[in-house]
Amino acid sequence: MNVDTYIASLVQYGIHCGLIEECDRTYITNQLLQTLSLDSYTPVEPVEMSLEDILKGLLDDAVARGVCNDDITNRDLLDTKLMGVLTPAPREVRKTFSALYEKSPEAATDWYYRFSQDTDYIRRYRIKKDMRWKTDTEYGQLDITINLSKPEKDPKAIAAAKNAPQSGYPKCLLCAENEGYAGRMNHPARQNHRIIPLEIAGQKWFLQYSPYVYYNEHCIAFNASHTPMKIDRSAFEKLLDFVTVFPHYFIGSNADLPIVGGSILSHEHFQGGRYCFPMEQAPVEQEISFRGYEDVKAGLVKWPMSVIRLDCADKNKLVDLADKILTVWRGYTDKDAFIFAETDGEPHHTITPIARRRWADYELDLVLRSNITTEEHPLGVYHPHAELHHIKKENIGLIEVMGLAVLPSRLKRELAALEEAILTGSDIASDPMLSKHAPWVEELKTRHTFTKENTSHILKEEIGKVFAKVLEHAGVYKRTEAGREAFLRFVEAVTKKAQR
pLDDT in tens, 435-463: 999 999 999 999 999 999 999 999 999 99
**pLDDT higher than 80, residue 166:** no
- Rounded-to-integer distance, Cα 387 and Cα 408, Å: 16
Rounded mean pLDDT, 388-414: 95
Rounded mean pLDDT, 417-422: 97
Rounded mean pLDDT, 104-128: 97
**pLDDT higher than 80, residue 62:** yes
Place 263 in a pLDDT band, splitting at 50, 70 and 90.
Answer: confident
**What pLDDT, on a 0 to 100 scale, did the predictor assign at position 203?**
96
Q: Residue 252 in 3-state DSSP?
A: strand
**pLDDT higher than 60, residue 209:** yes
DSSP E strand boundaries for 120-170: 131-137, 140-146
**Do 172 and 160 contact (CB within 8 A), yes or no?**
no
- Rounded-to-integer distance, Cα 105 and Cα 389, Å: 41
3-21 pLDDT, tens digit each:
999 999 999 999 999 999 9
Place 149 in a pLDDT band, splitting at 50, 70 and 90.
Answer: confident
**What pLDDT, on a 0 to 100 scale, did the predictor assign at position 159?**
57
**Do 469 and 478 contact (CB within 8 A), yes or no?**
no
Q: Residue 41 in 3-state DSSP?
A: coil
- Rounded-to-integer distance, Cα 381 and Cα 373, Å: 5
**How far lies 187's CA from each of 49, 53, 157, 170, 226, in Å?**
30, 25, 12, 9, 17
Q: Where are the alpha helices (DSSP H) in 164-302?
A: 233-245, 278-281
- Rounded-to-integer distance, Cα 50 and Cα 13, Å: 9
- Burial track 18-53 (b if 16+ CB lie within 10 A, e otherwise): ebbeeeebeebbebbbebbebeebeeeebeebebee
**What pLDDT, on a 0 to 100 scale, did the predictor assign at position 437?**
98
**pLDDT higher than 80, residue 294:** yes
In sequence order, the β-bridge partners of residue 307 are: 367
